[in-house]
């Protein structure tokens, strides 16, 4: 997740920690969809600048940026984080989502990924516009589909609490 909440203009160039990575134009999405994987196997999807979803290797949500708000897993719930900046410091205020709020976030995420997966099954509904990978386009698309499938399988589960983060 970016330290600065700003437009994520050129992820293909700037997201060097994500390799392989790819950008797709999907029919029902206004902004390009960016996907990338870390060396650890964790992966991310960016739908333009917002929303952004980061997952562990099992496809469980770790972090998100939705409607201008930062979210982070606490293991059993999601915390919404609000950054307060002063001239001297920056602090994060944490609010743990209720079960209903958590379910709404996860349901919205699941719906969006189900639509994208459906579009990726129809070659006329998407275009791979850029990629950096040691793989063919077909292999890369298979990997992206597999990651979306993991997300959908684990859509009701959160990743374990991020160590060192409370």
For the stretch 31-77, pLDDT in tens is: 999 999 999 999 999 999 899 999 999 999 999 999 999 999 999 99
Q: Which pLDDT score is estimated for 15? A: 84
Phi, psi of 138 (to 5 degrees): -65, -45
Q: Which pLDDT score is estimated for 5? A: 44
Q: Which pLDDT score is estimated for 25? A: 95
Q: Which pLDDT score is estimated for 166? A: 58
* Sequence-separated (6 or more) residues with CB below 8 Å from residue 78: 61, 64, 71, 72, 96, 97, 101, 102, 105, 158
Q: How far apart are CA 48 and CA 36, in angstroms?
A: 13
Which of the residues in the chain have pLDDT under 50? Answer: 1-6, 8
Q: Which pLDDT score is estimated for 83? A: 85
C-alpha 150: how far from chain center: 13
Q: Domain ranges in the chain?
A: 11-153
Q: Which pLDDT score is estimated for 2? A: 45
Give the chain's mean pLDDT.
90
């Amino acid at each position: 997740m970016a330290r600065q909440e700003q437009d994520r203009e050129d992820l293909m160039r700037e997201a060097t920690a994500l390799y392989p990575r790819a950008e797709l134009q999907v029919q029902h999405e206004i902004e390009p969809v960016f996907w990338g994987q870390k060396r650890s196997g964790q992966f991310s999807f960016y739908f333009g600048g917002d929303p952004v979803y980061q997952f562990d290797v099992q496809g469980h949500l770790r972090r998100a940026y939705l409607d201008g708000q930062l979210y982070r897993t606490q293991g059993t719930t999601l915390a919404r984080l609000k950054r307060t900046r002063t001239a001297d410091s920056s602090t994060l205020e944490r609010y743990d989502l209720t079960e209903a709020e958590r379910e709404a976030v996860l349901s919205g995420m699941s719906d969006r990924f189900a639509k994208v997966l459906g579009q990726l099954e129809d070659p006329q509904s998407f275009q791979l516009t850029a990629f950096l990978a040691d793989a063919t386009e077909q292999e890369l698309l298979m990997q992206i589909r597999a990651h979306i499938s993991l997300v959908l399988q684990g859509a009701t589960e959160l990743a374990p609490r991020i160590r060192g983060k409370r």
